[in-house]
Amino acid sequence: MTRFRTLFRAGLLTFFAFLIPLAAQAAPFAAYVMDGRTGKQIHAQNANTRLHPASLTKMMTLYMAFTAIERGQVRLDTRFTVSSKAAAEPPSRLGLRAGQQIELRYLIRAAAVKSANDAATVIAENLGGSVPKFAGQMTGMAQALGMRNTQFRNANGLTQSGHFSTARDMSVLGRRLFYDFPQYYSIFSRRSADAGIATVRSTNRTFLDNYAGADGIKTGYTRAAGFNLTASAQRGSKRIIATVFGGTSTAQRNAVMAQLLDMGFGKAPTRVREIKPEPPQYIVERKSSRKVAAAQAISARPTAKAAVPAQVARASVASKSLNSALNEAMALAASEPPAPQPRATGSAGGKAGIRLASSARPLARPARVAAAASPVDEAVRSAMAAPAVAASGGLSKSARPKASPRARQSAPVAVAAASTANVVKSSADDLSLNSSSKPQRKSDTVIVGDGGGSAPEPRPTEKIARASSSGGQSWGVSLGRFKSRDRADERLIQIAMQENAQLDGALRHIRESSKGYEATFVGLSKSAASKTCASLSEQGLRCDVTAP
């Protein structure tokens, strides 16, 4: 008996000795659930713990790209040049070559759908001048959006010192993408897309296919981060947005996300007043040196609307509009010589045993900065938004996270859509989902620029003669009539962005009549026109095939 006990104890010690290294390598877990309509918290676990975001970083990269398009700095068809650094990024990648030129629309699709690291780097270098400058602008924008525990060092999410975010902040960013850019939001629900040189498949297609009502947003994985996901789903009047950090596998992460969304739908009220987020607000201050044009971001507050004009009046560039001042600030920041790019650790996003205490010291808020800044600090200060994360600590200062929840063994990830006769119960243990509706547009116009910093001149409408009856590439699609030419053009741009190969080569055309402005695509084959309308009809959008 004594020998048996000795052997048993030795076996237990060996077993626990084996588990200790595995526990040390496991990424910390965090989760956050919010009501997408109001932004109010429903559930939080380690939600403010600073962790590696992995490819959730690309959500901000895309937010910056959408901002540049709306402000007229670039167009979807602007061609970006691929650098040797971008071409050498590790997988996941689109397969770009150094010196190649590719349209921005394809880079957006590759970054959003395939999570391509090379595409994200090309966007950063061409919009910001260099990756460090663009990362500084991303950090500034994060502060303007209320993401208080986020700091970026690159545009693709590969593990790097000083690059961190939280489950709460990424949920805030997911909500911002939905409300601030509804014209582009549908890209996050695509299962595949034409990325110019290849058709790419979504990294999130399994969850999108298996969870009723899911329509986005982004996955992420590195060895240091674990399996991350920010997801959004809508059923009936309810929209829930949630984020998971540190999943142990794709299946476990998706199962936990399903549980979190179930909880959100169960606890969120059926009727609530929608509170849309305020747009980012900036005060731009002219310095004596042309190389320093700091743009300070002010976090939006519910009572800040009336105060904004007075704040802008106190700025030294009060004679300029906010947009023109911001254009100048970003143009001056982009004119500086590129700073050296820090190297990412690990070909797949960082080593499992990375020391979190090695994170770089974050920047202090601009109001307290008195000393000269480093090149990366200067990029942050000259970006479109100001304060970086407070210098009180990075990843090493985070509270000890709680353990990751186990996925329910008996409950599959797939959740069947509930009928309208079923009532959602308030208990998180007995939940069902309602039907979904489309997001509302933020504005009536989408600004399409000529690639410069100033507002673009209106582009002439393409005049297309009525196609002959011979067929071929003479078919078209009509998206309906609109009250203004701007609304018609906005719809054409939106559909051109979200649809893939069917509309490549098609021409946008607006027909004016006494009944309004008809938005059409022309120059299509019969097959392409039919497939386009079939795809749009599935999304609940109007589309009619026009014969030669």
pLDDT at 78 over 70: yes
DSSP class per residue in 500-528: -GGGTT-EEEEEEETTEEEEEEEEE-HHH
For residue 251, count other CB atoms closer than 10 A to its CB: 13
540 within some domain: yes
Residue 34 inside a domain? The answer is no
The tens digit of pLDDT for each residue in 283-332 reads 433 343 444 344 444 444 444 343 444 443 343 333 344 444 445 444 44
277 occurs within a structural domain: no
Residue 394: pLDDT band with limits 50, 70, 90: low
Count of other CB atoms within 10 angstroms of residue 255: 22
What per-residue string of b and e applies to 84-97 under the rule 16 or more CB within 10 Å gives b? ebbbebeebbbebe
Residues with a catalytic annotation lie at 55, 58, 115
Distances, alpha carbon 71 to alpha carbons 63, 297, 331, 447, in Å: 12, 17, 13, 6
Higher pLDDT, 91 or 291: 91
Q: How far apart are the first and last CA of the chain?
A: 92
The answer to whether residue 515 is domain-embedded is yes
Mean residue pLDDT across the chain:
73
Torsion, CA 493, CA 499, CA 502, CA 508, rounded to 10: -10
Residue 538 lies inside a defined structural domain of this protein: yes
Q: Give the highest mean pLDDT range of 14-23, 180-189, 462-471, 535-544.
A: 180-189
Q: In which element (H, E) is residue 60 found?
A: helix 57-70
Class of residue 232 by CB neighbours under 10 A (exposed 0-12, middle 13-18, buried 19+): buried
Q: Which helix (H) or strand (E) element contains residue 18?
A: helix 2-25
Lowest mean pLDDT among 74-83, 117-126, 388-397, 477-486: 388-397
pLDDT tens for each residue of 320-379: 444 444 454 444 444 444 444 444 433 333 333 333 334 444 454 444 433 444 444 444
pLDDT-derived band of residue 53, with 50, 70 and 90 as boundaries?
very high
Please give the Cα distance from 495 to 547 (Å, whole number): 20
Q: Is the pLDDT of residue 383 over 90?
A: no
DSSP for 426-478? Answer: SSTTS-------PPPPS-S------SSSSPPPPPPPPP-PPPPTT-SS-EEEE
Q: What is the pLDDT of residues 256-296, one digit of tens each?
A: 999 999 999 999 999 999 999 998 865 433 343 444 344 44
Kindly state whether residue 383 falls inside one of the protein's structural domains.
Answer: no
Specify if 497 maps to a domain: yes
Domain assignment present for 165:
no
**pTM for the predicted model, two decimal places:** 0.56
pLDDT in tens, 60-69: 999 999 999 9
Collect all residues with Cβ–Cβ distance below 8 Å to 385 and sequence separation of at least 6: 137, 139, 140, 141, 142, 143, 144, 280, 282, 295, 296, 297
Residue ranges making up the domain that contains 537 = 475-546
Say if residue 92 is preceded by a cis peptide, omega within 30 of 0. yes
- Name the domain count of the chain: 1
Instruction: For residue 500, give the CATH number of its domain.
Output: 3.30.70.1070
